[in-house]
Amino acid sequence: MLVIILILLLIIILLWALRNPIKSAANKLADQTNRLLGYHLLPTTIGSFENDIEDGLTSSQFDLEANLEENDNRAGLKDKEEILKIMKKNNVSFDEARLIRQKRLLRKNGIDPDTGLPLDPKFVSFGSSQ
């Protein structure tokens, strides 16, 4: 009986000592599992604007340096993996990749990316014709 109690106590002490690495590994595994299932999580503490700048995810139109100067502690850009894939696949700049991604999102949600109008055939607009 004493041996069982000592083993349990040893396991508890070991888990307590390794709680931070276990928590970090579990969070990373949960994030990867959710991405595989198609869930997109809000940014976590993984990543930073500094990392985004190093990855080339900044431009004069979308300057992340200001975020660093203001000590912005958010985790950086959301969906940066998707933008990096577009940049690599289409050989385009960061701004062009953002535009491509935005147009895809609009089209996916039933909005014409060129006009901003709904693609629904039942849509009726009462505007002035010129």
Count other C-beta atoms under 10 Å from residue 76's C-beta.
20
A 10 A CB-CB count for 27 gives 13
Higher-pLDDT residue of 65 and 90 is 90
Alpha helices in 49-126 (DSSP H): 49-54, 65-69, 80-90, 94-108
Average pLDDT over residues 18-43: 80
* Three-class secondary structure of residue 118 per DSSP: strand
Per-residue model confidence as pLDDT tens digits over 66-103: 888 888 777 778 788 899 999 999 999 999 999 999 99
Q: Where are the domains of the chain?
A: 44-117
Instruction: Note the pTM of the prediction, 2 decimals.
Output: 0.55
pLDDT for residue 46: 61
Rounded-to-integer distance, Cα 127 and Cα 26, Å: 54
